[in-house]
Structure 1
Amino acid sequence: MKILFVHNYYTRFLKHFLSENKEKIACTDYKSHKKLLFDQLFSVSDFYSQGVLRNGHEAIDVVANDWILQKKWATEHGLRITTYPPIALESRIGQQIFLHTWMEKILEIQIKEYNPDIVYFLDIESFSFNLLKRVKKNKYTIIAQKASPILSSENYRMADIVFSALPSMVGAFQKKHIRSHYLPFAFEPSVLLKIPKQKKKYNCTFVGGFSKIHTLGNKLITEVSKCVHLDIFGYGKEMLPCSSEAYQNHHGEVWGKDMYTVLLQSNMTVNRHVDMAGEYAANIRLFEATGCGAMLLTDKKKNLGELFVDNKEVVSYTNADDLVDKIRYYTNHPRERDRIAKAGQRRTARDHTYTKRMKEVLKFL
């Protein structure tokens, strides 16, 4: 079986990647450029495809909205692309303008060239319904996944299966007669081999964004920062009041390797879920944080016990006051904190890897 994974990266990360690697990118071919991109360990990188390979099947990745990378593929395959977008497509509207003229045209040719059994869209909403219809017409199986707010539900009807880390979203898809299955996120253990060993630098961190879909989390982190020191990393600093402790202790955006480095340097790290997650624990930070050996302080959810043992592998909190109390307690009880952190890391290494997740995916195909 052969699976083609189609990625759609944050434009903010792609801008950062280009600015940090401009000279290297200018003189590399498609293969080297893609390797350099995945070596940044952004998002799920090539973790899904590597998990498939470890399970004895073929897999390949395409980052459909990295136009510099895709232009190289097109050029190396004798394609003449006449219209190029600006380097940063700042919105979905901007992306939509160029879908047919470049992103989808190249992707469609790549699909035919690779001829996979399955096209796995990691962000199916970024592509047009007409493209998906053509992919479907050519007898390719389409898989999608989603665990964040849905902007447009139409495309999911073209998927043969939709995986979600949110049990509530699985149920919502099934009610619409869309085949859907639960699939939690995971951690890739090889990350620990790709980043130098780190000394602990931060007592407690928060790594994540401030945005309109995190209103509860925005308020939580702002309130907690008034009482205890949090070193904060991520996007959305501009949403914070300039006079707030959270703003003053915000160190800016970190992506990929830099994010993992911060987690490796953290004794403890705070996790909070997107508002729409409701009563379910589902985000990827659960596994990134524990995988890196930080003690995870995460919002209490009814399914957390299915993933980790509370107070033994992770520590849950119920509100801002509870979180403040627990940060203070584990700051003053480092041996207990480190014991929980190590237990959480062992659990993630045992049960929450992409090799295991892809084994589950393959059972449904």
Structure 2
Amino acid sequence: MNSFSERQLVFFSDSFGACHLLQPVVERSRDAFFTTGDDPITQRYWAQEHGLPASTPLEKILLSQIEHHSTEIFYNLDPVRYGNDFVSKLPGTVKRSIAWRAAPSGNVDFGAYDLLVCNFPTIIADYRSRGWRAEYFAPSHDPAMDNYSSNRIRPVDVLFVGGYSRHHKRRSEILNTVSELRRDFQVVYHLDRSRLTRIAESPLGWLMPLNEHRRPRDIRAASRPPVFGRDLYQAISQAKIVLNGAVDMAGSDRGNMRCWEALGCGALMVSDAGNYPDGMINGTSIVTYDSPRSAATTIRSLLAEQAKLSDIALAGNSMIRSRYSKKAQWEKFTQLCN
């Protein structure tokens, strides 16, 4: 990987964050320019290829890329890193600045952006209450998932992929309760442990008073290393059911990335009850639960009715591929730009 374009190809081939990439980016249109502005190696390749000094700051490189491309629409997936100060430096070619932000942001000011977008109505309402323009905009189906959704041999009965820390109390309760099913079924958790959890579970950590940071025994027994990108797609393609548990950041709103990944890769998503994006309907394209105990009971019932499980999984995959296609996402984006 000795060039900017080669590093770009590696990034795209891994599909990390692909549900957020717009159709022109995925199709490598000349009208679109994409970069990972926080990746110093990739950015410095571009700088070198365009005659910028090796010492050029990353922010200056990104601004140079935008100017070189004559960008008209600046779409940013990290407005905390590139906030109001950065927007004020954008070249004159930029007619619209749009930012995706789907998490509470405290007192951070995003008011310099022309538009804020995400798929959580509660967060959108909060943005509007601050006087900012905000609209609903959803992730999309990654076509690369189609190679994984077609798999019918799925030896893993229940899969969970996500972060683990003591702050995710409800999620921990759900994982612990569902992990009891491993006595009868194949349950696999790919957990990205917090720093304190890793320390608490290290040989030295077991000698320290860090019990509250350790995972319960059944969760540890089901755990595997974290997975991302295509490794995540592969893991889902081996699972009948993907267990999902939202982190409480938008009240009863639901729609985290695992929804698109689970349905897109052909698994049945079992998730906590709440207000889901259009098309994600309990009993039709997904299945929801009300409590940790009901999650385990629901999963056990579904595994006893393989035909029903497969039908809902197929309906979910069909829905996500059509309703949330790259084409549909791009059409919505262009409407928002206008």
* Fold match (TM-score > 0.5): yes
In the TM superposition, 1:120-131 aligns within 5 A as 120-131=75-86
Q: Aligned to 1:59, which of 28, 32, 38?
A: 32
Q: Aligned to 2:191, which of 234, 237, 247?
A: 234
Gaps of 5+ in 1: 1-24, 83-100
Report the aligned-residue RMSD. Answer: 2.5
Is the 8 Å Cα contact of residues 70 and 93 (structure 2) preserved in structure 1? no
Call closer, same or farther: CA 1:52–1:103 in 2, change over 3 Å. same
Q: How far apart are residue 342 of structure 1 and its match?
A: 0.6
In the TM superposition, 1:153-302 aligns within 5 A as 153-154=108-109, 156-193=110-147, 197=151, 199-211=153-165, 214-228=168-182, 230-236=187-193, 239=197, 241-301=214-274
Call closer, same or farther: CA 1:149–1:161 in 2, change over 3 Å. same
Count matched residues. Answer: 318
Is the 8 Å Cα contact of residues 51 and 356 (structure 1) preserved in structure 2? no
| Alignment partner of 1:307 is 2:261 | no
| Aligned mates of 1:80, 1:196 — CA distance in 2 | 48
Is the 8 Å Cα contact of residues 297 and 315 (structure 1) preserved in structure 2? yes
TM-score normalised by structure 1 residue count: 0.80
Is the 8 Å Cα contact of residues 149 and 276 (structure 1) preserved in structure 2? yes
| Aligned mates of 1:194, 1:316 — CA distance in 2 | 23
Is the 8 Å Cα contact of residues 148 and 266 (structure 2) preserved in structure 1? no
TM-score normalised by structure 2 residue count: 0.86
Q: Secondary structure at the match of 1:125?
A: coil
Task: Write out per-residue CA displacement over residues 160-219 of structure 1, whole angstroms, 9 at most, x where no aligned residue.
Answer: 010011000111111111000011222212332489957312001111112466332233
Q: Secondary structure at the match of 2:15?
A: coil
Q: Aligned to 2:302, which of 304, 327, 330?
A: 330
Match of 1:150 in 2: 105
Is the 8 Å Cα contact of residues 150 and 266 (structure 2) preserved in structure 1? no
Task: Write out per-residue CA displacement over residues 206-254 of structure 1, whole angstroms, 9 at most, x where no aligned residue.
Answer: 1111246633223321233235553101311663625521122111110
Match of 1:19 in 2: none
Call closer, same or farther: CA 1:258–1:211 in 2, change over 3 Å. same
Q: How far apart are residue 52 of structure 1 and its match?
A: 8.0
* Matching residue's letter, 2:143: P
Match of 1:21 in 2: none
Q: Secondary structure at the match of 1:233?
A: strand
* Matching residue's letter, 2:284: K
Call closer, same or farther: CA 1:323–1:333 in 2, change over 3 Å. same
Call closer, same or farther: CA 1:149–1:212 in 2, change over 3 Å. farther
* Matching residue's letter, 2:99: A
User: Identity, % of aligned pairs?
Assistant: 22
Call closer, same or farther: CA 1:196–1:327 in 2, change over 3 Å. closer
Moved more, 324-333 or 203-212: 203-212
| Aligned mates of 2:176, 2:148 — CA distance in 1 | 33
| Aligned mates of 2:271, 2:46 — CA distance in 1 | 42
| Aligned mates of 1:321, 1:81 — CA distance in 2 | 57
Q: Secondary structure at the match of 2:176?
A: helix
Q: Secondary structure at the match of 1:144?
A: strand
Q: Secondary structure at the match of 1:39?
A: helix
Is the 8 Å Cα contact of residues 145 and 164 (structure 1) preserved in structure 2? yes
Call closer, same or farther: CA 1:139–1:313 in 2, change over 3 Å. closer
Is the 8 Å Cα contact of residues 52 and 359 (structure 1) preserved in structure 2? no
Match of 2:46 in 1: 73
* Matching residue's letter, 1:157: G
* Matching residue's letter, 1:34: Q
Task: Write out per-residue CA displacement over residues 115-145 of structure 1, whole angstroms, 9 at most, x where no aligned residue.
Answer: 1111101011012532221117664421001
| Aligned mates of 1:179, 1:344 — CA distance in 2 | 32
Q: Aligned to 1:353, which of 320, 325, 328?
A: 325
Match of 1:362 in 2: 334
Is the 8 Å Cα contact of residues 215 and 275 (structure 1) preserved in structure 2? no
Is the 8 Å Cα contact of residues 237 and 250 (structure 1) preserved in structure 2? no
Match of 1:92 in 2: none
Moved more, 29-38 or 137-146: 137-146
